[in-house]
Amino acid sequence: MRTYLECMPCFIKQSLEAARMATDDEEVQTKVLKEVMGHLQDISLTSSPPELSRDVHEIIRRITKTKDPYKKVKDQSNEMAQKEYPRLKKLVGESDDSLLMAIKLSIVGNVIDFGAMNRFNVDDMIDNAVKREFDASAYPQFKSVLEQSETILFLADNTGEIFFDKLLLKELVKRQKQITYVVKTNPIINDATVEDANLAGIDKLATIIDGDSGQKQSAPGMVLSYASKEFLEIFKSSDMVISKGQGNYEGLSDVTRDVFFMLVVKCPLVAQDISSEVGKLILKVK
């Protein structure tokens, strides 16, 4: 998915938010905004939003001298989701279709996103998950492909959200699937890293890899031109690919192979691209 002019205010707002997380020094915050705005003047709109965000956040980290501005909120997200996990597990266990409920709750976890302009109330989303309808038009195809698959590549998105993913991973393991779970090499916004995945116990269910291993900076979404050789080989050879979140959608929506995208739509431009509405829970193959 390409970048649009409407993305510019989001980059600037996100830059200020991250700068304020990193420092209380208004002069440093001002310097961040000025350099980001200068950088945005020369970008190509043919690049995907994750590609541009990668560079924007490198500016933020360099100027604020902070490796991980979102560290505090990432820890809070993991703590919150870990406490919610028994409740989520019960919802899956009591459901008439445990796979469908695990998918729905995994998508609900995608509301935990400090990279999006629109924020949602996680507790409200969980409360409504059982009765709420969502765009599951791809569910029959998901089940069919899953039944025929042995290997699954699962692209993670955010901290906190990974505990919601765990519900779905357990359903896949019950069906004797071999799973590779992809996280980020370096801190970028609130995206999950290997450390976060291990905290959630994902290592007991899947093989964890950092999809951009070897890169000095990561993008908030998979960008194939920055991906590791290991990731590219698995991406090509896996029987099934599951992708979480808007960033991964923005980076992979134009690839040639089938990908099952799972996300909460948080941006009007993504809504337009995926033919949906802001706030919708989506399971779609593209």
Q: Is the pLDDT of residue 150 over 80?
A: yes
Q: Is the pLDDT of residue 117 over 50?
A: no
C-alpha–C-alpha distance, residues 175 and 7, integer Å: 40
C-alpha–C-alpha distance, residues 239 and 151, integer Å: 5
Strands 260-264 and 281-285, bridge-based pairing: antiparallel
The whole-number pLDDT of residue 245 equals: 95
Domain ranges for the chain: 7-64, 71-285
19 pLDDT band, cuts 50/70/90, is very high
Question: Domain 71-285 has what CATH class?
Answer: alpha beta
Q: Is the pLDDT of residue 124 over 90?
A: no
Half-sphere exposure of 265 (CA within 13 A, CB side): 19
Calculate what percentage of the chain has a pLDDT beyond 70. 93
Backbone angles phi, psi at 252, to 5 degrees: -120, 5
The whole-number pLDDT of residue 120 equals: 55
The whole-number pLDDT of residue 279 equals: 86
Question: Which residues does residue 284 pair with via DSSP β-bridges, in sequence order?
Answer: 261
The whole-number pLDDT of residue 33 equals: 97
136 pLDDT band, cuts 50/70/90, is confident
Torsion region of 160: left, alpha or beta (phi above 0 gives left; psi -120 to 50 gives alpha): left
pLDDT digits (tens, 9 = 90+) for 228-261: 999 999 999 999 999 999 999 999 999 999 999 9
Q: Both tokens of residue 167?
A: 């519900």
CB 19 within 8 A of CB 32: yes
Three-class SS of the chain:
CCCCCCHHHHHHHHHHHHHHHHCCCHHHHHHHHHHHHHHHCCCCCCCCHHHHHHHHHHHHHHHHCCCCCCHHHHHHHHHHHHHHHHHHHHHHHCCCCHHHHHHHHHHHHHHCCCCCCCCCCHHHHHHHHCCCCCECCCHHHHHHHHHHCCEEEEECCECCHHHHHHHHHHHHHHCCCEEEEEEECCCCCCECEHHHHHHCCHHHCCEEEECCCCCCCCCCCCCHHHCCHHHHHHHHHCCEEEEEHHHHHHHHCCCCCCCEEEEECCCHHHHHHHCCCCCCEEEEEC
Mean pLDDT of the chain: 93
